[in-house]
């Protein structure tokens, strides 16, 4: 390392030449000295000659000498700065701030080598603080503008461009322009130009920088277009273009031309960069010569890019994630075609080939390009054939775009009358869109389908369509709302030639045959179809037949007649359609030959009577006939029109006018009157001439009722009627009793009331006013009477309309109600059968009247509102001479059914009402239920008193009341009440017999054998019928004084009596305390006069008395004897065993043998009762080794199956003894307290075969 002193000496040499000269010569004027020396040499002849001889003087002159010295000075300076640079490389600290500033401020001449070292040295100290980097940068810019070595300046500028902050601070559009000018310097090396590109690229990579301007781009254009430059430089230049176009998506035309001109020159890499540029440019700008790129669709380059570092690789599995050049080219085509760029056949060919690319995006974009091109280009047939192969492409986008392109291309080919291959037509069904064809937000269904239909329309006259094509038509006609017009047009063209329509399509046409806008075409199509003798469906024929009635066009009807007539020849049509055809034929026959039309007229008469409707031509024919000068209007014509009007068919106005002219109101023209009546019903317009004639006809007594009804119909439809007609209507209404008929009149009467012009002045007291046939004074009382007359019906609609009319009379015309009218209204309000709305309307109508006396009472009761049942009963009790309404009875019935504390008060209300005989059956049944269920003697007495008073007033009661009365206590005198009831109504014969029998029994001291037999028979019948005995029957039975001798003399009677005793006890086990019954049953058992009823009854006796009866021990012995020896009673063994078991639970019994014997019985019920009896005996201290052994066996079985020590658990043991099905696995691993439950559940499941699903309900 040089010493600091040496460095100082070196630093003195680093300066401009003037300063360096001063330092070296220290003020010596060397240039003057040289001039003097040269002058002295020239003056010295000897020396001059010597130098001349030696060829010195000619080579050296003064100027050259000075230049040599200056050159040596530069070498010194260069050697000094070079030495300093080498020292700096080893140790930068040798240059302090002063030395750096000296180098930095050193202004040198055009010594590029010195400048190079200066840039290198200063650049190495560029940390933003030690040197002025802006000044250095500008010096470098100045250097690169000059010829010479610019390597170091350009490198420094390059370094600055790489720094984000410096780049933003130092570079701008002006700077970039200076750098771009390096491209046009021919002498500048490609390396330096590459540096220039790199600098510009660094600049363009910044987000804040703008794109290259036109001046800069021209420099680039010259570079790219210069063939002497190699690939690498041009690629760097193209990178600049890429960065620039990515900023503003645009390039000037000259630049685009340069790029296009330089493509396909054999350099794939260069081509790929140009493609990247054009791809971006095509987004905003139309590229005219895009065809030149089409071959690139078939290449397999993949773009690898990291910022500006862009390279290309051949496609492989490792890089298939990147964008391909082919997809870029395809995108260019998409962009250009979207701007209506034209492409050539070669491009089409390559685009189709590109559909086979391994790059998915290339396939999709190529397909999209073909789709776009197909909109504006004609595609050749061979390309369409190839394109067709991609309709089913596995890539959905390719499939859809190919389908659309194929459809559009084929449609264009077809439209220019080019011959279409049959295979194309056959393929159309494969691409028709039956559902929806969509890519993202773009829908292609219409595009494809409309093009297909266009093709078929163009080819319909020339090609026979296969079944698949007709399936398209069928789908459109059955399921789509659009394309129907096009489909019909195709079928018309197709059917007009020799080709038939398929049956399925004829059927599908039914779906659209009634579409109005297609009617012309539909008829034409079906005319073609029937002409070819094809069969048409019934529905279509009906629609065609409808034209006879609906179409006002003669040609339509003629065409429809032709089709229907041809169809009749071709096929069997329905009777209904045949009738319509014949009706039309008859109508045409009448029109065409009026003088020979009678047969046709008779035919029309018959058919219209059957309900057939006349066609338009039929009406026209009849219209001609009516006024034909040689034709007399006969009844057949009128019958036809009458039938037509009855059928609800509208008669044309011109024909009505002709009928009106024929109408004479003084004659009895019943057919015409009936026709006119139906015209009004059918809402047809009636002329003033007709109304005038009808008014005159009111004076015709023969037809007045018919005429009046016509006016009534007109009034219902809102027509204003004259005074004369209104009077006639009111008079007629007052004679009507039928509510249905009233409903026809009331709307008209009310409409009269609602029109103020019918009541021109108010009249309050008509009876005192002198009238002079004034409309008001005549019409008002008649209207009032009519409305009151309507209130007397039971039809709510009539009543409601009448009330409405009365309200209008009062509100609009101030007509007040009379007393009789108010009373009728109150009767209506009190009727619970009517809607609440009727009551509300009546209340509103009566709101302004002061009611008194009975009217006030009836009103208050009818409109009584109570929040509670108690309040309701209190209000009823407050009325004098209470007369209950049906709604009152219904609420009292509800109170009796549900309110225990108000029952007695409710009964008092009923007792105090004046119309007991009107109590409805529902309430009577509620009283019967109360009487039957209550334990209150007071309520029972009230009920009986009420029933008695109902009967005394002549009222009838329900059968339930009668049957309940029979069961009442003697003090209520039920027989007497029944006798009263029987005076008002017929009661069942068996009840009559019972009343008589009980009456007879009550009067006997001892009952006779015959009476007893009759009594038992009677109550047996009662039991068989009701499955129970009435309390009255039981009381009478137990009150009988039966002679023992009579009983013993007739064993059958004794058996019957004992059986009835048993049934009574089973019905009510409390009779176990009745000694007569118990003694009789025990005696029967001891005597072995037993049956199932007696044994079941004795079971109840054992449970109720706990064996504390007079003869229990004898009964028990009898049971043992029967079980021991008597085989005649084996059927009762089980019941006897149950009795023994029950006895064991109540007392300690001496005999356990039969229980022990049955402990292992196969019948689980016998086994269960045996265990139960022995368990009870065991618990009362009796010992049974068999019972102990049974329990031990159960314990052993449980321990064996559960592996658990088992303690005595008689409840569990009894359960096990009672079960039919046992599975001890069900209790294994279960807690002991669940064993009973699990075993019982299993037994139930097995007994009833419960499914697995139902088991979960347990």
Confidence class for position 316, pLDDT limits 50, 70, 90 = confident
b or e along 175-198 (b: 16 or more beta carbons within 10 Å of the residue's beta carbon)? bbeebbbbbeeeebeeebbbbbbb
Total domain count, the chain: 3
- Over the stretch 873-892, which tens digit does the pLDDT of each residue have? 888 888 877 888 888 888 88
Task: Evaluate if residue 326 carries a pLDDT over 80.
Answer: yes
Rounded to an integer, the average pLDDT of 173-197 is 90
Q: Could you say which of 987, 1015, 1031 is where a domain stops?
A: 987
Task: Evaluate if residue 58 carries a pLDDT over 60.
Answer: no
Residue with tokens 């060829």: 55
- Angstrom distance (rounded) from CA 10 to CA 14: 7
Task: Evaluate if residue 1078 carries a pLDDT over 90.
Answer: yes
More confident site: 1143 or 719: 1143
Rounded to an integer, the average pLDDT of 273-278 is 90
Residue whose C-alpha is closest to residue 998's, from 959, 967, 1024, 957: 967
- Within a domain: 685: no
- Within a domain: 554: no
Q: Could you say which of 625, 649, 673 is where a domain stops?
A: 649
- Within a domain: 935: yes
- Angstrom distance (rounded) from CA 551 to CA 555: 9
Q: State how far the alpha carbon of 1169 is from the alpha carbons of 100, 552, 1157, 1190, in Å.
A: 128, 96, 12, 14
Q: Write the DSSP assignment of 483-510 as a string of letters.
A: SHHHHHHHHHHHHTTTPPPPHHHHHHHT
- Within a domain: 355: no
- Within a domain: 20: no
Mean residue pLDDT across the chain = 83
Q: State how far the alpha carbon of 1023 is from the alpha carbons of 195, 1033, 1063, in Å.
A: 127, 10, 9
Angle 348-351-357 (CA atoms, 0-180°, nearest 5)? 160
CB 688 within 8 A of CB 658: no
- Over the stretch 1119-1141, which tens digit does the pLDDT of each residue have? 898 888 867 778 889 999 999 99
Residue whose C-alpha is closest to residue 678's, from 624, 615, 597, 608: 608
CB 210 within 8 A of CB 243: no
What six digits make up the tokens of 802? 């009448």
- Within a domain: 634: yes
What six digits make up the tokens of 307? 């910022």
- Within a domain: 247: no
Rounded to an integer, the average pLDDT of 904-933 is 88
Domain of residue 619 covers 574-649
- Angstrom distance (rounded) from CA 298 to CA 1250: 75
- Within a domain: 720: no
Residue whose C-alpha is closest to residue 457's, from 510, 507, 511, 420: 420
More confident site: 744 or 1145: 1145
Residues 6+ apart with CB under 8 A from 500: 532, 534
Confidence class for position 70, pLDDT limits 50, 70, 90 = low
Q: Could you say which of 954, 987, 1020 is where a domain stops?
A: 987
Q: Write the DSSP assignment of 851-896 as a string of letters.
A: --HHHHHHHHHHT---SSHHHHHHHHHHSTT----HHHHHHHHHHH
Q: Where is mean pLDDT largest: 1-5, 674-678, 997-1001?
A: 674-678
Q: State how far the alpha carbon of 118 is from the alpha carbons of 124, 125, 887, in Å.
A: 10, 11, 125
Residues 6+ apart with CB under 8 A from 949: 911, 916
- Over the stretch 991-1041, which tens digit does the pLDDT of each residue have? 666 666 666 665 555 677 777 888 888 888 878 887 888 777 787 788 777
pLDDT for position 764:
39
CB 381 within 8 A of CB 353: no
Q: State how far the alpha carbon of 701 is from the alpha carbons of 580, 691, 707, in Å.
A: 41, 18, 10
CB 729 within 8 A of CB 708: yes
Residue with tokens 């059914």: 897
- Angstrom distance (rounded) from CA 1258 to CA 1248: 13
Residues 6+ apart with CB under 8 A from 410: 384, 420, 424, 451, 455
Which stretch of DSSP H or E encloses residue 589? helix 575-592
- Over the stretch 1149-1191, which tens digit does the pLDDT of each residue have? 888 888 899 888 889 899 999 999 999 999 888 898 999 999 9
Coil, helix or strand for 1231?
Answer: coil
What six digits make up the tokens of 567? 């169809």
Residues 6+ apart with CB under 8 A from 563: 523, 526, 527, 530, 536, 544
Residue with tokens 């659009």: 482
What six digits make up the tokens of 727? 């009077």
Residue whose C-alpha is closest to residue 530's, from 498, 562, 499, 485: 562
Confidence class for position 315, pLDDT limits 50, 70, 90 = confident
Confidence class for position 793, pLDDT limits 50, 70, 90 = confident
Residue whose C-alpha is closest to residue 1013's, from 1055, 966, 971, 976: 1055
Q: Write the DSSP assignment of 1070-1122 as a string of letters.
A: GGGG-HHHHHHHHHHHHTT---HHHHHHHHHHHHHHTT-STTHHHHHHHHHHH
Residue whose C-alpha is closest to residue 1215's, from 1145, 1168, 1255, 1257: 1168
Rounded to an integer, the average pLDDT of 8-12 is 69
pLDDT for position 1205:
86
- Angstrom distance (rounded) from CA 694 to CA 699: 9
Residues 6+ apart with CB under 8 A from 991: 962, 963, 966, 978
According to DSSP, the residues that pair with 311 across neighbouring strands are: 304
DSSP 8-state symbol, 324: B
pLDDT for position 390:
93
Task: Evaluate if residue 347 carries a pLDDT over 90.
Answer: yes
Task: Evaluate if residue 626 carries a pLDDT over 80.
Answer: no
- Angstrom distance (rounded) from CA 92 to CA 127: 13
Residue whose C-alpha is closest to residue 892's, from 880, 881, 875, 879: 875
Rounded to an integer, the average pLDDT of 907-932 is 88
Residue whose C-alpha is closest to residue 1137's, from 1111, 1108, 1168: 1168
Q: What are phi and psi of 44, to 5 degrees?
A: -95, 105
Q: State how far the alpha carbon of 493 is from the alpha carbons of 496, 525, 564, in Å.
A: 5, 9, 21
Task: Evaluate if residue 45 carries a pLDDT over 70.
Answer: no
Residue whose C-alpha is closest to residue 1110's, from 1087, 1076, 1145: 1076
CB 359 within 8 A of CB 398: no
């Amino acid at each position: 390392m040089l010493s600091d002193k040496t460095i100082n000496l070196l630093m003195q040499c680093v300066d401009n030449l003037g300063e360096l000269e001063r330092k070296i010569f220290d003020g010596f004027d060397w240039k003057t000295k040289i001039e003097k020396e040269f002058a002295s040499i020239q003056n010295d002849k000897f020396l001059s000659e010597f130098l001349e001889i030696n060829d010195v003087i000619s080579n050296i002159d003064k100027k050259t000498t000075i230049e040599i010295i200056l050159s040596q000075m530069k070498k010194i300076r260069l050697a000094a700065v070079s030495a300093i640079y080498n020292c700096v490389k080893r140790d930068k600290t040798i240059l302090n701030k002063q030395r750096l500033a000296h180098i930095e401020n050193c202004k040198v001449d055009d010594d590029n080598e010195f400048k190079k070292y200066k840039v290198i040295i200063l650049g190495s100290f560029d940390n933003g603080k030690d040197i002025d980097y802006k000044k250095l940068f500008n010096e470098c810019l100045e250097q690169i503008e000059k010829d010479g070595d610019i390597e170091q300046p350009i490198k420094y500028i390059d370094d600055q461009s790489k720094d984000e902050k410096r780049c933003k601070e130092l570079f701008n559009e002006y700077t970039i322009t200076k750098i771009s000018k390096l491209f046009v310097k021919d002498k500048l090396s490609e390396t330096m130009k590459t540096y220039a590109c790199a600098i510009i690229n660094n600049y363009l990579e910044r987000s804040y920088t703008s794109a290259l301007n036109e001046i800069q781009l021209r420099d680039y254009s010259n570079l790219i277009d210069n063939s002497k430059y190699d690939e690498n430089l041009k690629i760097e230049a193209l990178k600049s273009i890429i960065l620039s176009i990515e900023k503003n998506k645009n390039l000037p035309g000259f630049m685009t031309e340069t790029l296009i001109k330089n493509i396909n020159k054999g350099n794939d890499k260069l081509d790929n960069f140009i493609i990247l540029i054009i791809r971006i440019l095509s987004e905003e700008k139309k590229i005219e010569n895009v065809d030149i790129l089409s071959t690139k669709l078939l290449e397999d380059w993949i773009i690898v890019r990291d910022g500006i570092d862009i390279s290309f690789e051949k496609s492989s599995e490792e890089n298939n994630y990147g964008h391909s050049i082919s997809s870029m080219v395809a995108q260019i085509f998409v962009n250009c075609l979207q701007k209506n760029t034209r492409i050539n056949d070669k491009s089409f060919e390559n685009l189709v080939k590109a559909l086979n690319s391994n790059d998915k995006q290339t396939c999709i974009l190529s397909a999209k390009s073909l789709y776009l091109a197909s909109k504006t280009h004609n595609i050749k047939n061979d390309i369409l054939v190839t394109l067709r192969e991609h309709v089913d492409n596995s890539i959905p986008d390719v499939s859809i775009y190919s389908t659309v392109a194929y459809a559009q291309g084929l449609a264009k080919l077809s439209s220019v009358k080019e011959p279409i291959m049959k295979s194309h037509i056959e393929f159309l069904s494969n691409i028709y869109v039956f559902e929806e064809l969509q890519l993202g937000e773009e829908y292609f269904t219409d595009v494809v389908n409309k093009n297909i239909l266009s093709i078929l329309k163009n080819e319909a006259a020339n090609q026979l369509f296969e079944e698949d094509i007709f399936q398209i038509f069928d789908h459109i006609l059955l399921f789509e709302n659009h394309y129907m017009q096009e489909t019909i047009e195709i079928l018309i063209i197709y059917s007009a030639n020799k080709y038939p329509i398929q049956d399925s399509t004829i059927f599908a046409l039914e779906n659209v045959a009634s579409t109005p806008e297609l009617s012309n075409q539909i008829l034409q199509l079906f005319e073609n179809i029937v002409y070819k003798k094809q069969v048409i469906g019934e529905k279509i024929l009906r629609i065609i037949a409808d034209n006879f009635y609906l179409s006002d066009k003669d040609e339509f009807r003629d065409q429809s007649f032709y089709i229907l007539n041809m169809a009749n020849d071709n096929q069997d049509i329905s009777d209904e359609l045949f009738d319509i055809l014949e009706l039309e034929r008859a109508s045409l026959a009448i029109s065409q030959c009026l003088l020979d039309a009678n047969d046709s007229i008779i035919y029309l008469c018959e058919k219209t009577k059957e309900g057939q409707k006349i066609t338009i031509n039929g009406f026209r024919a009849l219209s001609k006939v009516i006024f034909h000068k040689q034709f007399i209007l006969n009844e057949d014509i009128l019958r036809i029109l009458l039938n037509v009007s009855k059928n609800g068919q509208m008669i044309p106005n011109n024909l009505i006018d002709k009928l009106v002219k024929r109408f004479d109101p003084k004659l009895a023209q019943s057919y015409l009157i009936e026709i006119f009546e139906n015209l009004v019903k059918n809402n047809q317009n009636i002329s003033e001439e007709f109304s005038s004639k009808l008014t005159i006809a009111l004076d015709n007594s023969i037809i007045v009722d018919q005429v009046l009804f016509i006016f009534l119909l007109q009034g219902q439809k809102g027509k204003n009627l004259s005074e004369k007609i209104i009077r006639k209507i009111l008079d007629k209404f007052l004679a009507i009793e039928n509510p249905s008929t009233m409903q026809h009149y009331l709307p008209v009467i009310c409409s009269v009331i609602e029109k103020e012009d019918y009541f021109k002045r108010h009249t309050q007291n008509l009876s005192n006013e002198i009238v002079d046939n004034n409309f008001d004074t005549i019409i008002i009382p008649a209207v009032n009477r009519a409305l009151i007359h309507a209130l007397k019906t039971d039809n709510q609609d009539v009543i409601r309309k009448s009330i409405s009319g009365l309200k209008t009379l009062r509100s609009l015309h101030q007509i007040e109600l009379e007393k009789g009218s108010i009373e009728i209204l109150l009767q209506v309000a009190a009727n619970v059968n009517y809607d609440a709305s009727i009551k509300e309307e009546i209340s509103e109508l009566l709101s302004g009247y002061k009611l008194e006396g009975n009217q006030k009472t009836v009103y208050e009761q009818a409109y009584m509102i109570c929040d509670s049942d108690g309040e309701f009963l209190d209000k009823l009790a407050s009325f004098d001479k209470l007369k209950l309404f049906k709604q009152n009875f219904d609420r009292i019935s509800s109170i009796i059914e549900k309110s225990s504390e108000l029952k007695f008060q409710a009964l008092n209300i009923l007792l105090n009402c004046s119309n007991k005989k009107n109590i409805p059956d529902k309430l009577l049944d509620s009283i019967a239920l109360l009487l039957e269920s209550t334990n209150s003697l007071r309520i029972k007495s009230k009920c009986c008193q009420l029933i008695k008073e109902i009967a005394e007033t002549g009222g009838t009661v329900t059968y339930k009341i009668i049957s309940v009365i029979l069961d009442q206590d003697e003090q209520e005198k039920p027989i007497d009440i029944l006798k009263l009831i029987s005076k008002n109504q017929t009661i069942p014969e068996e009840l009559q017999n019972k009343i008589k029998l009980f009456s007879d029994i009550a009067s006997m001291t001892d009952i006779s054998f015959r009476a007893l037999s009759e009594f038992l028979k009677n109550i047996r019948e009662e039991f068989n019928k009701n499955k129970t005995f009435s309390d009255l029957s039981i009381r009478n039975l137990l009150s009988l004084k039966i002679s023992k001798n009579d009983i013993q003399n007739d064993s059958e009677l004794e058996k019957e009596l004992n059986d009835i005793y048993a049934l009574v006890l089973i019905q009510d086990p409390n009779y176990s305390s009745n000694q007569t019954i118990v003694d009789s049953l025990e005696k029967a058992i001891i005597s072995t006069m037993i049956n199932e009823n007696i044994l079941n009854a004795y079971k109840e006796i054992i449970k109720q008395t706990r064996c504390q009866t007079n003869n229990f021990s004898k009964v028990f012995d009898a049971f043992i004897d029967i079980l021991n020896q008597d085989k005649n009673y084996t059927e009762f063994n089980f019941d006897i065993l149950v009795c023994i078991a029950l006895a064991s639970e109540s007392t300690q019994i001496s005999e356990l043998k039969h229980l022990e014997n049955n402990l292992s019985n196969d019948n689980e019920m016998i086994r269960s009762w045996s265990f139960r009896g022995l368990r009870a005996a065991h618990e009362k201290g009796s010992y049974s080794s068999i019972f102990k052994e049974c329990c031990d066996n159960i314990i052993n079985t449980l321990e064996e199956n559960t592996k658990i020590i088992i303690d005595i658990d008689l409840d569990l043991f009894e359960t096990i003894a009672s079960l039919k099905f046992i599975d001890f696995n069900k209790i294994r691993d279960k807690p002991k307290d669940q064993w009973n439950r699990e075993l019982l559940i299993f037994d139930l499941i097995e007994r009833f075969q419960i499914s697995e699903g139902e088991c979960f309900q347990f």
